[in-house]
Structure 1
Amino acid sequence: MGITKTPVLWTAGAPGAGKSTTAWGLYTRIVEAGGNVAYVDIDQLGLIGPPPGGGEAAHAIKAANLLRVLGILRSRGARQLVVSGIVDPENGVEPHFDGGDFDLTLIRLTCDRDELRSRFLGRGSPAAALPGLYAVADAYDRTGFGEAMDTTGQRHEETVVTGPTAVGKSTAAFSALRDLWAREMPVAYVDLAQLGFANPGPDPALEAANLAAVWRGYREAGAKRLIVVAREFLPEHRRVFEEVTVVHLDADAPTLTERVGRRAEGESALLAGDELRGVPPVVRDRVAARAVTEAARMRQARTDRVVLDTTGQEPAETAAALLAVVAQ
């Protein structure tokens, strides 16, 4: 008797078509129903640089890392897997799943061009990038892979660096990453929270296993260094690396409270699981209080780390301070 394949539902399409929103909505509904489900944003599995571009090489890196992560999630009990992200418009993703342990359903999201333009610009993307956006959308329409779903008219919401909620970890780390790429340094990036969406959870051991698998994939693709962003870097995570530098970002209570407010107003990039974008003041206040408590607790943690006090700093100042550490 053969092994039962694990169902994978993958939403793909041009930027702004609704990939992440649709997939995250499905994931949360299955979680609420008590399902053993996991979610992966494939775009989080290809953050290696200098970037290989949008061609076949970039898609191959993402696909290889995705299969590693899905295998770990399956082995640890996930019975349903939800994936979102751009795929190779010429070849799709089916060749990577041929004969494997997964039963793939690929959903290609489409959207009226006027609405696609509005969504794309509305999230801060530059108008100069519109021709590239339309080229991707046209390529998907031309090849016609997967099952088409029109989202027009649907409403859409849109080194290890640690620290409390909203201290500025992701913003500073990604800025430093881009600077390192500009220097032609082969560096990859992982947001640890994006590797841990699985129900039931949270599970630090699962995060560590996925981190190890993705880092192995990045090394095979040529990366020499890795920047990891995490709220806390636990012993399970630390064991993934032979050598690691932990940079902890700190800030005082007024600064954390202000940054929580700015996050809630949409200042940072929107990622899956964002708990602040557009929330009411009562939720914002609760998250701010938690961030202040986290910061106080983390100050008492182990001392084998570099601590950067970001109190009162603008994002560019924090990024520069972080870059000075990771570029050594």
Structure 2
Amino acid sequence: MDVLRLAGVPGVGKSTVAWAVARGLAADGERVGYVDIDQLGMCYPAPPDDPDRWDLKEAALQRVAARFAEARVERLVVSGVADPADPPRANGHPTVSLWLDAEEVTRRERLAPRGWPQGQVDEVVAIGTAESATAHPSWARVDTDGSAVDDTVRTVLARWRTDAATAATTVAPVPAPASTEDDVTGRVIWITGPRCSGASSVAWEMASARWAEGLRTGFVDVAQLGFAWNAHRAVGTRNTAEMQGLFAGVGAQTLVVTAPFEIDPAEVGQAFPHADLRFFRLDADPENLRARAVRRTTGEGPRIIGDDLLDGAPEAVDLAVAQGVRQRQTPVRAGEQMIDATTSSASEIAEAVRAHLPD
């Protein structure tokens, strides 16, 4: 398996470009996977010896890369931040590592849709300028100023093809990550529900509340760890089990998970044989499903890669709601605890979930 690593500071377009590269390769029939490394380090409070969680994310990338390779993915696209002071780290596979650059004015324009306060934008841009200026020279640079996404994608693909032969001969040896899910205990709080029922918001609310209390807790969005096309099998659940093992190793005894409704609890049980698994299935009526879908089209909530509702057309809303309505008809599955999510806020629903958890 060959890996393309796109890094850079916020606003350079790394996630947008990486997603376009992966989708394009998939459309061409290639066995391709995609992961954003920012999704691999959501464990807070951070370990004292790794305050920025650089080591945690890089260790996680090794683990999920092994799972993608196991699923016969041939090309893995990775986006996200990296420690600018370090050279690109080995992940056990031939890797082409590119650092995307953009001027401050470009980064400000690209950060605008995130809706951040001006002070936060100013701080992020200033830190990014300093980091990019001092990034380790081992990163090959690609300028994205004045380039449309398609142009940058072509440039990146050309660099990947050109540098791949060298990468294949210089890949640093990395010990194969041990499979950990077979012996990891701890609690896994699995939040799911029909499309647009609010599972992601509720899971994030639950994790955030624990972080605020200083309780080291992991958070995983299974869909974000399962992007693979033309591959041998799904990898999201197995990657999630790897995250539980990694987070448990730094002291997190609870993992909060948001997951697509299609994943059956029986499959989850096989991936986490020794964990204290708690399944919660949210339920909301069609009117509320539609209301949540419409809010997503306006940009409410985090801008998550692969969200087809973000800036979506009315037709996208109709399709999402129809999917959610169909999923509601599925009988309650073994182990699931139903939670009414019709009109309550995410914090209220999270409190209802907590009421069903043992001390």
TM-score > 0.5, shorter chain as reference: yes
Tell me which residue corresponds to 1:60.
Answer: 55
- Offset at residue 305 of structure 1 (A): 2.5
Counterparts of 1:60-209 in structure 2 under 5 Å? 60-94=55-89, 96-97=90-91, 100=92, 102-129=93-120, 130-145=122-137, 146-154=139-147, 159-200=189-230, 203-204=233-234, 206-209=235-238
Question: What residue is the counterpart of 1:237 in the other structure?
Answer: 268
Residue 281 of structure 1: how far off its partner (Å):
1.2
Whether the 8 Å contact between 2:196 and 2:320 is mirrored in structure 1 is: no
- Give, in angstroms, the shift of residue 28 of structure 1: 0.2
Using the aligned pairs only, state the percent identity. 30
**CA–CA distance in structure 1, aligned partners of residues 270 and 125 of structure 2:** 41
CA gap 1:318/1:312 in 2 versus in 1, 3 angstroms: same
1:41 corresponds to which of 25, 36, 39:
36
Corresponding residue for 2:304? 271
Name 2:332's counterpart in structure 1. Answer: 301
SS at match of 2:5: strand
CA shift for structure 1 position 154: 4.4
Contact 2:217 2:254 in 1 (8 A): yes
TM-superposed CA distance for 1:317, in Å, is: 2.9
Q: 1:83-126: CA deviations, max 9, x gaps?
A: 001011111333x34xx3x1111111111202212322431223
Cα drift, residue 9 of structure 1: 0.7
Q: Is the 8 A contact 1:171 1:319 kept in 2?
A: no
Is 1:21 the equivalent of 2:16? yes
Distance 1:93 1:53, change over 3 A: farther
Gaps of at least 5 residues in structure 1 are 1-5
Contact 2:71 2:233 in 1 (8 A): no
Alpha-carbon shift at residue 269 of structure 1 (Å)? 1.2
Deviation at 1:136, TM superposition (A): 3.1
Determine if contact 2:226/2:237 at 8 Å carries over to the other structure: no
Q: 1:13 Cα deviation (Å)? A: 1.0
Q: Secondary structure at the match of 1:72?
A: helix
- Partners of 2:51 and 2:345 in 1: how far apart? 38
CA distance in 2, matches of 1:325, 1:88: 40
Q: Which amino acid aligns with 1:183?
A: E
Task: Give 2:33's aligned amino acid.
Answer: A
How many Å separate the matches in 2 of 1:152 and 1:319?
42
Residue 306 of structure 1 aligns to which amino acid in structure 2?
Q
| AA of the residue aligned to 2:237 | A
How far apart are residue 69 of structure 1 and its match? 0.8
Letter in 2 for 1:46: G
1:236 to 1:141, Cα distance in 2 relative to 1, 3 A? same
Quickly say closer, same or farther: Cα 1:305–1:198, change in 2 above 3 A.
same
TM-score normalised per structure 2: 0.81
1:227 aligns with 2:256: yes
Residue in 1 that maps onto 2:315: 282
**CA–CA distance in 2 between the matches of 1:321 and 1:152?**
48
1:74 Cα offset (Å): 1.1
Structure 1 pair 318/25, CA: closer, same or farther in 2 (3 Å)? same
Q: How has the CA–CA distance of structure 1 residues 219 and 285 changed in structure 2, closer, same or farther, with 3 Å as cutoff?
A: same
Match of 1:21, as an amino acid?
T
Measure, in 2, the Cα distance between the counterparts of 1:230 and 1:304. 15
User: Are residues 48 and 278 of structure 1, via their aligned partners in 2, closer, same or farther at CA, if it must alter by over 3 Å?
Assistant: same
* Distance (Å, rounded) in 2 between the aligned partners of 1:116 and 1:57: 22
CA contact (8 A) 1:56 1:88 kept: no
The answer on 1:32 being equivalent to 2:27 is: yes
Give the root-mean-square deviation of aligned CA atoms. 2.3
Contact 1:180 1:327 in 2 (8 A): no
Q: Say if 2:4 is the partner of 1:9.
A: yes
When structure 1 is superposed on structure 2, of 51-60 and 165-174 the one drifting more is: 51-60
Separation (CA, whole Å) in 2 of partners of 1:264 and 1:288: 13
8 Å CA contact 1:8–1:83 kept in 2: the answer is yes
The one-letter amino acid of 1:263's match is R
Alignment check: 8 A CA contact 1:196 1:203 kept = no
When residues 175 and 92 of structure 1 are mapped into structure 2, their CA distance, relative to the original with a 3 A threshold, is farther
The residue correspondences of 1:254-265 to structure 2 (distance < 5 A) are 254-265=287-298
Please report the TM-score for the alignment, with normalisation by the length of structure 1. 0.88
On the 8 A contact 2:32/2:77 being kept in 1, the answer is yes
> Number of residues paired by the alignment?
315
Q: Is the 8 A contact 1:180 1:187 kept in 2?
A: yes
Cα distance between partner residues in 2 of 1:258 and 1:280: 14
